[in-house]
């Protein structure tokens, strides 16, 4: 069974939780990965907006896989964010970028690397909403306005018609607020696609709100860099069960 098939099967029963590990900001990935699995997360994303590539990326993925059995999915911040040691890759297109490089050209430049690595590619439409944080700046996104869910919905419907199989709605790593429930619900309503939501989800109540709004997968990342990471993660995952 492919990673995508496994995720879709699990999503029929409940909202899933993914933990994002950034090789730049999260050392000792093997120790963190075992904690993530113990807390009940469903998969581990590996990547970041700055510098997560090459030997550092390879070593991080290998360390994770040596200490846990969760699927490892690459979450590339650029064309170099490919590692043959991962199980799959989110093949992302930032649909609301002002720069076509982040919509199609980076994807063309990395396509053969993904093929040669033998990775399962999962087509994901990446939508960045306010506040956007680092990823909004780096991807030159026209940030989706929080008060205009219909704009996000238009992009989501376009993603469906273009053949994407997942939508990832991102408020930005370290954001002080997650995507609005109204935006999440509208995207889910008009597209019907599996919806991933990340950014600004730091407490169990945030996870509950986002899940009830329509998210199929919730992603958290920066909480793993805090002293109380395990306790916080258990509460967030527990809120989704």
pLDDT in tens, 111-145: 999 999 999 999 999 999 999 999 999 999 999 99
Q: Taking 90 as the threshold, does the pLDDT of residue 25 lie above it?
A: no
Q: Taking 80 as the threshold, does the pLDDT of residue 76 lie above it?
A: yes
> Residue 61 belongs to what H/E stretch?
helix 54-67
Strand partners, 195: 167
Q: What angle do CA 75, 17, 177 make, to 5 degrees?
A: 80
N- to C-terminal Cα distance for the chain?
24
DSSP 165: S
Bond from prior residue into 73 cis (ω within 30 degrees of 0): no
Q: What angle do CA 153, 156, 158 make, to 5 degrees?
A: 110
Task: Choose among 87, 75, 25, 15: nearest CA to 45.
Answer: 75
Q: Taking 80 as the threshold, does the pLDDT of residue 189 lie above it?
A: yes
What average pLDDT does this structure show over 138-154? 97
Summarised one tens digit per residue, pLDDT across range 191-208 is: 999 999 999 999 999 999
225 CB burial (10 A radius; 0-12, 13-18, 19+): middle
Fold topology of 3-240:
TIM Barrel (3.20.20)
Q: Taking the domains of the chain in order of start, what are their residue ranges?
A: 3-240
> Distance between CA atoms of 139 and 3, rounded to whole angstroms?
27
DSSP 225: G
């Amino acid at each position: 069974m492919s990673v995508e098939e496994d995720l879709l099967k699990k999503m029929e029963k409940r909202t899933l939780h993914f933990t994002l590990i950034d090789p730049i900001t999260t050392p000792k990935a093997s120790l963190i990965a075992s904690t993530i699995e113990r807390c009940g997360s469903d998969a581990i994303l590996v990547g970041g907006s700055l510098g997560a590539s090459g030997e550092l990326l390879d070593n991080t993925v290998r360390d994770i896989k040596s200490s846990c059995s969760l699927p490892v999915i690459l979450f590339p911040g650029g064309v170099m964010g490919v590692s043959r040691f991962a199980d799959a890759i989110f093949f992302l297109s930032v649909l609301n970028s002002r720069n076509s490089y982040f919509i199609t050209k980076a994807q063309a430049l990395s396509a053969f690397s993904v093929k040669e690595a033998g990775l399962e590619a999962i087509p994901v439409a990446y939508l960045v909403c306010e506040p956007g944080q680092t990823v909004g700046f780096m991807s030159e996104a026209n940030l989706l306005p929080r008060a205009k869910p219909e704009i996000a919905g238009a992009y989501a419907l376009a993603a469906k018609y273009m053949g994407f199989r997942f939508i990832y709605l991102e408020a930005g790593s370290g954001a002080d607020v997650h995507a609005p429930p109204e935006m999440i619900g509208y995207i889910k309503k008009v597209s019907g696609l599996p919806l991933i939501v990340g950014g600004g989800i730091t407490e169990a109540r945030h996870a509950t709100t986002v899940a009830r709004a329509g998210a199929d997968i919730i992603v958290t990342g920066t909480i793993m860099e805090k002293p109380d990471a395990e306790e916080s993660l258990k509460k967030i995952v527990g809120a989704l069960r």
